[in-house]
Amino acid sequence: MNEKSLYKVWICGLFGTAVVLGALSGNGAKPAAPIKPAAADTPAAEAPAVSKQLTALVAEQGTGIKVMKSSDWAEQYPHEYETYMLNNDNSEIHDYIEENPYIKTLYEGYGFAISYGSARGHTYVVEDVTSTGRPHKLANCFTCKTSDFTAKVLNDGDSAYAMAFEDMEVQVTDAFGCFHCHSNEPGVIYITHPYVSNNLGADLEKVDPATLSCAQCHTEYYFDPATKATMVSYHGLAQISPTDSLEFENSLVDAEGNMFADWVDADTGVRKLKVQHPEFETYMGEGSVHASFLSCADCHMPTKTAEDGTVYTSHMWVSPLQDPDLLNSCAQCHKEDMAEKVHKIQEATRARENELGYALEQLDKDLASAIQAGTLSDEDLEAVRLASRNAQWYWDYVFVENSEGAHNTKLTNQCLDLAQQYLDEANSYLQ
C-alpha cells in the first residue's frame, strides 16, 4: 500500500460486543432495563446469545463524570486492552509536506503549512498534538485527542473549548481511550461528543452505533467563531454532503460581512477553509456502497479468537488490507482480488489529487501575480477568490479523507470533478 494511505487509515470503534436493546429516549438516558453485555473474555462455547446494540446512547452532561483510563480495564478486558496497546506499533510518521510539496502553498498562512505529518496509532495522539510544531492557542485542539478533554466538555460545556491550550495540557492523564466510545461502560457504545448527538438529533437512531462511535472524531468539523466550540456543519443525515457543508460555511459571515474562514491567504486574499478528515460524511454520503449494512468496526476491527477460545473484538485499528480475516470476509460478496481493486482506486485517486494539487498551487501563484499587477476588477477579483476557495475545499475533502477513494469512490470522484470545475472557473478570469 502507498505510504500515505497505509498510515492514514486509523478508525475508532467499539470495545467488545455491545448489547443494549431499545430506542434512545429523547433526553439521552438509557433505555429501561437494558440488557447488559456478556462478560468479556467468556469462552465462545459458553457465551450466551447476544444482540447487537441498536442505538448509541448519549452521555449525560453536567454530571461531574471522571475518566476511567484504558489501563483501568486491562484486567477485565485483557484481549481488548492488549490489542489496543498494539496501536503503539503504528509509530512511523511521514511528512506530507515533503511528499506533496504543493500543500505548502495551498496551506500557506495556516498551521498545516508548517507541520503536517501522517496519522499514526491512536495511542500517540496526545504526544502528536503537543509536539506537532503547529501553534495551538486553545484547548479545542484537544478535541478527540484525550479522554480528559472529552469529559471536561461533558462536565463544563462549551466553555472548555475556549481554555488556553497549556491550561488543558497539564490536566491530561489519558490519551485516546475507552472513554471516547464507551464512557465508563465498556461493551456499551456512547456518544460522548455533544456536537455529534446535537446535530444528528433523531437521525442517531438511523446510524449503526459502531459507525457513530467513529464519527465522533472522523468527521469534518469547524470551530465556532464565537464560542470556539468544535462543531459540525450539518443537522441530520440529509445534509451530510461536501456541498451542503460548503454552502453552510459560506453562509457564515462576521460583523463586517466576511465569509467564515479558517485563515486568509496573505498573498491572494482568499478566505480559505481547511477540511478535517471527513470519513463519516464520505462513508455515509451519496454513492456509498456499504454504509447501509456495514459499520466502520465491521471493516476495521476484526473479530479474533484467543488461544483459550475467547472471541473478542480487536482494538488495533487497521486497514482491511492489512488483515487476512477482514479480507476473507469481503470474499462473501466480492469475487475479485479486493486488495488489488482497492489499490487501483487509491492510485487513481492519488493521481487526480496530485494533478489538482499542483494546478491549485499554480492558481494561487497566478492570482497573487494578477493582484500585484492590478489586472483584475474588484468584481472579477472576488469571483476568482470565491472559485478558488470552493475548488480547494472540494480537493481538500478528498486529500484529507483517509481512504483515498475506497470508502465512497463515486463521491470522491464527484468532489474532484467539482474541484476541477471551480479551478477552471477561477482560471477563466486570469486568461
For 32-58, the pLDDT digits (tens) are 223 233 333 333 333 333 347 889 999
Q: Cα 156–261–405 angle (5° rounding)?
A: 90
Give residue-wise pLDDT tens across range 133-183.
777 789 999 899 999 999 999 999 999 999 999 999 999 988 888 999 999
Give residue-wise pLDDT tens across range 327-337.
888 888 888 89
Domain 3-319, CATH: 1.10.1130.10
**For 430, what's the count of Cα atoms within 13 Å in the CB-facing half-sphere?**
24
The whole-model pTM stands at: 0.86
Give residue-wise pLDDT tens across range 51-93.
478 899 999 999 999 999 999 999 999 999 999 999 999 888 8
Domain segments of the chain as ranges = 3-319
Give residue-wise pLDDT tens across range 289-321.
999 999 999 999 989 999 999 999 999 988 888
By the 8 A CB rule, do 171 and 156 touch?
no
